[in-house]
A and B are shown apart, each in its own frame.
Chain A
Amino acid sequence: MKKRFSFVCVYLCLLTLLVCGAAELLAPDKGERLSASENRMLAAFPTLSVRSVADGSFMSGFESYLSDAFPFRDGAADFTDTVMGLVRIPDDGPATGVCADEELWENSAEQDAAFQQLLEEERAAEGGAGESEKESPAESAAPVTLSADVHDVTLWLDRADGGRDVLFTYPADSIVSFAEILNRYREKLPEDGRLYFFSPQVSDVANNVIGSGKYVDWGTDLVEVMQPLVDDGVVIVDDLAILSPYLNDAPSALYPTADYHWHAIAASITADALMEAQGLAPADYDQYRYWLSFREDKRDYSTEQLAGMSYGRETIEIMSAISPAESYFLNNLTQRQRTTFTMPDGGYVGFLGGHKGPWRLIEGGFHTGRRALVVGDCFTIPLIPYLAPYYDQIISTDVRDNFYSVYLAGANIGDYIAQYDVDDIYVVWSTNARFYSPDIRSRMSLYLDMSY
């Protein structure tokens, strides 16, 4: 009896293998397609050729295809997730936990209050240079004051009739102060490390030029003024010059009209220019065509939902991510928890809006041996997918108020740079955040080295 039972069971296993194998071979899905739960493109049937067989690429491709084409694959993935979840010991609270929800942020607010005094002192020091905290770029259309060495930075718009209108003026002393902060960040990097700084313009600025008829181009002397102020290894990037050729001739809209952020295409053009300046071949835009799937509390946002999302009167082109990509919340220096790339709260899903975290770790699945830190506002988020092919890991932080928690960070920015062995830093502050303001300068300065 036992022998028969054993015999039947074992042959049942064999039969299962046979049936599964036959099902895969007889009803193959040969097309390339997206796995929403894993955020990656599933393997397509490989090309069969003498060469691909000889070098083994057909066989490895076939293995991937067979694995990815398995029926009920998502169900199996859910099963393994469930089993692993059953034996997972839950986190024990905010002291060592990962900030995964608003409740934790509320808890952190009280803790952060203790640091407010420090921030106020730093802000006072940064603001001591004399510029007005309330001054807005849009309000500041003062004529450029040139001096022999350092002068105010201007951003201008070129009129169709050949004239030029100055739109913003950035005070010289705040530029000098910000340059010093960038130099302090640079000091944290290895000798061959690079720090790139640029300030993308918001749609309000760009749309003055794009299709306006009145203006045909834009420009700034930020690089001319600032580059001599920074140390070797700090590169001031003229983002306006990068986007200039595309203002009225882009593959698709650089900016929306119903929102002040930039579109994926603008970020990708900028990232490609940055990489070309480093002597690196820009990644093919096709690599970015995959939609990122968000997963929050088992709630999947399908690609269709994302693509069809609209703001106001227009449909926003949601940023696409490089596949595969993993995103983690980081806090207390080393705690990490897998999460969506951006917070799917409110209307700003899909790479728009800043990110709470206070730190994010993004792993694109590329292995280059280098790591980058990105400090900035909501304009940095769309940039990150385009930096991913060049770095093993990208860590990102948004130090603005309501996006950064000193308490949850658990360590200063310098510690993160050391912890993650960062090679390059990208500092990206849009016009909206005003990098030269005492607020941003004080935060960047204080959070770099503050003691815990």
Chain B
Amino acid sequence: MVFSSLTFLLIFLPLLYLLYFVRSAPRWRNGVLLIMSLLFYGWGEPLWILAMLVSTAANFFCARALTRSESEGARKLILAVGVVFSLSFLFYFKYAAFFANSLAKLFRLDWTVAEKRLPIGISFYTFQILTYTVDVYRKKAPALESPLRLLLYISCFPQLIAGPIVQYADVADQLAERTILPDEFTAGLQRFIKGLAKKVLLANVCGAAMEELTLAGSDAALSLLGAWLAVFLYGLQIYFDFSAYSDMAIGLGRTLGFQYKENFRFPYASASVTEFWRRWHISMGSFFREYLYIPLGGNRRGPARTLLNMLVVWALTGLWHGAAWNFVLWGLYFGVLLILERFVFKRVLEAMPRLLSWVICYVLVMISWAIFYYTDLPSVAQAVGALFGVGVSGLTDAAAISVLRTYGIWALGAFVLSLPVVPAVSAALPKKLSSALGIVLTLLLFAASLLFLIGQSYNPFIYFRF
């Protein structure tokens, strides 16, 4: 089930609120939330609940064992068991076929391993399970007494299948008891509507434009304009798609009493790649920093080790997004850019006018989407080459012009909204006017989103496949 489906909006959500708020006892609310979360997850693929249950149970027992164990050696062993167990699930479903087939290709072996069907959200909930076991090991948070409460943390539907990746220590207290003030509920719903509008009115339209362009591009080489238009539209689609999901998750969490951290802060306003990654998918960046980069030694073991750590982290960041070499390449692309920014161009960037560094950063990010989009390396090479005029059919082509005509104004609007323009305008207006406009806009966006949702069938969530 997705947040922008009518099933969720018209049936699941009202039912959840009715059941959730009928009683205020924490146990009741946790029970309702757990059952509804499992229903939410099992709606698409009921059997995959078992995988989540097994992984959760294993880590529950590991955490309990960690609490009881005194010896550091034993604790490390228990931690390793928990981590390996969780990652083995992820590896089996997501990466086993990829690595096996890559090895077969490398050694020219005549066998192929069929790819497994990927349980929805496995990359996200595996990381959440890991944060629980590691946080208990680090004694940042106590182990839970109740396996059901751990299951609630893992399966809590707002962030279950597309993030933000919630670290256990951040919500440990909220799992026990939550206070929901009317203002919080109202603000949460407003945030949800904002996310819904971003998804339905911006991401879906940019996606439809992108699909039209790639459909034409699949027939022949794109023009230079077509190639840039494609990455521009895809960049907008993926941003609005993913950040919309985060907005909706954060908003829903807030209505239920959970405070999730921000996941996006206008990443396309960044003037450097370093800044971009502080604004884009923040919860994933935090996870890799806290649970991988720092344990690897971070930047405390000299420049060479720092470089190696960065490359490892970024290669794995790429691989987390998908079992294909283009994702590894995409991660390494950013790893190399971050290394260059940190060790080579730091002063140049600091001295550069912000507008120029913003343009450079924007172009570099757009190039990254060409790597990200195609899962086979020859197509990646072709797409990146096209951005530099290699193998293009010309400067412009009819398909690109047609897409520009049909979606250009809409995409331009989306681009403006991807920058912190609305907060700037809001800050410039008198507070009362700004508030009133905000509320009226919320109502209009809600109505328009609902109409678009009903009237249009294009409604995919890109980040579901990760």
**Residues of A bordering B, CB below 8 Å:** 2-3, 5-7, 9-10, 12-14, 16-18, 20-21, 24-25, 53-54, 56, 59-60, 62-63, 66-67, 70, 72-73, 76-81, 83-84, 87-91, 96, 332-336, 418-421
The interface of chain B, by Cβ under 8 A from chain A, is 1, 5-7, 9-11, 13-14, 17, 43-47, 182-183, 185-186, 189-190, 193, 205, 216, 218-220, 397-399, 401-402, 404-406, 408-410, 413, 432, 435-436, 439-440, 442-443, 446, 448, 450-452, 454-457
Are A62 and B7 touching (Cβ within 8 A)? Answer: yes
Are A84 and B410 within 8 A (Cβ)? Answer: yes
> What 6 pairs across the A-B complex have the smallest Cβ distances?
A21-B10, A76-B455, A80-B455, A76-B454, A77-B455, A334-B398
Report yes or no: A54 in contact with B46, Cβ–Cβ below 8 A.
yes
Contacts of A9 in B (CB 8 A): 439-440, 442-443
Asked if residues B45 and A14 are in contact (CB atoms below 8 Å), the reply is: no
* Cα-based distance from A247 to B450 in the complex (angstroms): 54
Q: Once the chains bind, are A2 and B432 in contact (CB under 8 Å)?
A: yes
Give CA–CA (A333, B399) in the complex, Å.
10
Contact B10 A17 (CB under 8 A): yes
CB pair A334–B219 under 8 Å, yes or no, is yes
Nearest Cβ on chain B to A326's Cβ, whole angstroms: 11
Q: How far is the CA of A302 from the CA of B205 in the complex (A)?
A: 29
Residue of B nearest to A38 (CB): B457
Name the A residues within 8 Å of B451 (CB-CB): 76, 79-80
Contacts A10-B442, A419-B220 known; A17 to B454 CB distance under 8 Å? Answer: no
Specify which of A70, A81, A90 is in contact with B454 (CB 8 Å cutoff): A70
Given contacts A17-B14, A59-B1, 16 further A-B contacts (CB under 8 A): A3-B183, A9-B440, A9-B442, A9-B443, A12-B443, A14-B189, A20-B10, A59-B43, A66-B10, A67-B454, A70-B6, A73-B454, A77-B455, A79-B455, A334-B402, A336-B216
Can you list 24 pairs linking A and B with CB atoms under 8 Å apart? A5-B436, A5-B439, A6-B186, A7-B182, A10-B193, A13-B446, A16-B446, A16-B450, A21-B11, A24-B6, A53-B46, A56-B44, A56-B46, A66-B5, A66-B7, A77-B454, A88-B409, A89-B408, A96-B398, A96-B401, A334-B220, A334-B402, A336-B399, A420-B219
Distance in Å: Cβ of A361 to nearest Cβ of chain B: 10
Report B-chain residues with C-beta under 8 Å of the C-beta of A419.
219-220
In the complex the two chains form, is B410's CB within 8 Å of A87's CB?
Answer: yes
DSSP class of B's interface residues: helix, strand, loop or mixed?
helix
Query: Is A91 a contact partner of B405 (Cβ separation < 8 A)?
Result: yes
Partner of B186, one of A10, A73, A76, A80: A10
Residues of B within 8 A of A13 (CB): 189, 193, 442-443, 446
Closest chain-A Cβ to B236's Cβ sits at a distance in Å of 15
Given contacts A54-B46, A89-B405, A80 and B456 within 8 Å (CB-CB): yes
Question: With a CB–CB cut-off of 8 A, which chain B residues contact A21?
Answer: 9-11, 14
Complex Cα distance, B443 from A12, in Å, reads 9
Residues of B within 8 A of A2 (CB): 432, 435-436, 439
**How far is the CB of B166 from the nearest CB of chain A, in Å?**
24
- Which residue among A7, A20, A66, A87 has the maximum number of chain B CB atoms within 10 Å of its CB? A87
Chain B positions within 8 Å of A24 at CB level: 6, 10
A58, chain B: closest CB distance, angstroms: 10
B189 touching A77 by the CB < 8 A rule? no
- Across the interface, do A332 and B398 meet the contact criterion of CB distance under 8 Å? yes
A24 vs chain B, min Cβ distance (A): 6
A14 → B minimal CB distance (Å): 7
With both chains docked as a complex, state the minimum distance between the C-beta of A418 and any C-beta of chain B, in angstroms: 7
B455 lies within 8 A of A78 (CB): yes
Give the residue name and chain of the A residue nearest to B220 (CB).
Answer: A419
Among B13, B44, B190, point to the contact of A17 (Cβ < 8 A).
Answer: B13
A84-B406 CB under 8 A given contacts A5-B439, A21-B14, A63-B6: yes
Of all chain A residues, which has the CB nearest B226?
A: A334
Hey, which chain A residues are within 8 Å of B14, CB to CB?
A: 14, 17-18, 21
- In the assembled complex, the CB of B205 is this many whole angstroms from the nearest CB of chain A, namely 8
